[in-house]
Amino acid sequence: MIGNKALEIFKKLEDRNLLDEDLESFLEVFKYLTNKSEYAEDELYGWEKIVQIKLRDSENFYLKTDAQFTEHPKLVIDYGDADSPDSIITADRDSLTGVISGRLYPFMVSDRFKIEGDNTQAVIFFMLLRLIEQELTDQE
């Protein structure tokens, strides 16, 4: 099931057609593929930061690494608000999925997409996404 869903979601990313209604499926697939990826594992090792996503029109969520100093650290995506996030991305669902897929750029929606705190930590979210996309492309 996750295999077909993953292909569908990443096809939407490739086509720059990820929409706000795809967000929950995207997060599920993103977490699953990140946690299976050797490329992403290297990036997650030692990552102690928390990236909070505050959505104006949906439930908030945050990303962090579980067991970041073990041999196989895992990406965790939890819904709600983190206690002390290092970076906060505030957006609406459409702007977030638009930026994730490359359909929109942050400067295009600067009134609806903001990053506060440690910007480099927010970039890790997008870097992991590009690593997973590259890994899927390499497997084709």
- pTM of the full structure: 0.87
Task: Provide the 3-class DSSP secondary structure of residue 86.
Answer: coil
Instruction: Return the CATH number of the domain spanning residue range 2-139.
Output: 3.30.1050.10
Cβ burial, residue 110 (10 Å; 0-12/13-18/19+):
exposed
CA distance 1 to 10: 14
- From first to last of the 140 residues of the chain, give the pLDDT tens digit: 577 888 888 888 888 899 989 999 999 988 988 898 888 888 888 888 899 999 999 999 999 999 888 888 999 999 999 999 999 999 999 999 999 888 888 878 888 999 999 888 888 888 888 888 777 777 66
Q: Is the dihedral of CA 98, 59, 43, 117 positive or negative?
A: positive
Q: What is the pLDDT of residue 117?
A: 92
Q: What is the pLDDT of residue 140?
A: 61
Q: What is the pLDDT of residue 1?
A: 54
Domains of the chain, by residue range, sit at 2-139
